[in-house]
Amino acid sequence: MRLHFPLLFWAAIVLASAAPAGAQNFGGAFAGMRSSDEPVQIEADRLEVTDQQGVADFFGNVSVLQGSTLLKTKHLKVFYVRGAGATPGPSGNVRRIEASGGVAVRSQDQKATAETATVDMQGQTAVLSGNVIISQGENVVTGCVLNVNLATNAAVLVPCQKAGAGRVKMRFTPKSGEGQ
């Protein structure tokens, strides 16, 4: 079985927007995973592979390290193409990745958290869902669902609808991005 992990995923998950200097950078937490040349180290309590279905499940205390980026979750499910259907490229033969049970990604002072994350490598989309929090230093953006088009880096953050909250929130400190 060949799982091409050269940054298949989290390079993707929130390449949300190349923000101007000093502004919130939605993809910063994934900066270390943008290079497919960096090795990927995955650790988990258990790995189950169902090769006939093209699925690899990592369970319990899952950590994925690539470059300066660390992703932690309780469950990581990787869907891949087997045999002749596999195609070379940045995502290798990985079609989709799903992380659940709480997802946290960090790289230096940049962090992203959510309850779940899904990256569709073929559709070039990523979705963070459930209590999405993206931060860089003192700058914080919150909402419920972050949809990212990985081809264009366009992103939409949808607010939570619980108890009339219905708004996305952003708190930033002017000049906090200077020198970075």
CATH 3.40.50.720 fits 10-171, yes or no: no
Angle in degrees, CA 111, 146, 105, rounded to 5: 25
Q: State pLDDT tens for residues 7-30.
A: 333 333 332 222 333 334 444 444
Whether residue 180 has pLDDT greater than 80: no
Q: State pLDDT tens for residues 59-116.
A: 999 998 888 888 899 999 989 887 766 655 444 577 888 999 999 988 888 888 999 9
Whether residue 47 has pLDDT greater than 60: yes
Which of 6 and 159 is assigned the larger pLDDT? Answer: 159
pTM: predicted TM-score of the whole model, two decimal places: 0.72
What is the token pair recorded at 143? 């909402």
Contacts 24+ apart (CB under 8 A), 78-82: 78/3, 79/54, 79/55, 80/3, 80/4, 80/54, 80/55, 80/56, 81/54, 82/1, 82/51, 82/52, 82/54
Whether the CB-CB separation of 6 and 92 falls below 8 Å is answered with yes
Whether residue 123 has pLDDT greater than 70: yes
Rounded Cα gap, residues 171 and 42, in angstroms: 33
The stretch 125-138 carries a mean pLDDT of 90
| % of the chain beyond a pLDDT of 70 | 69
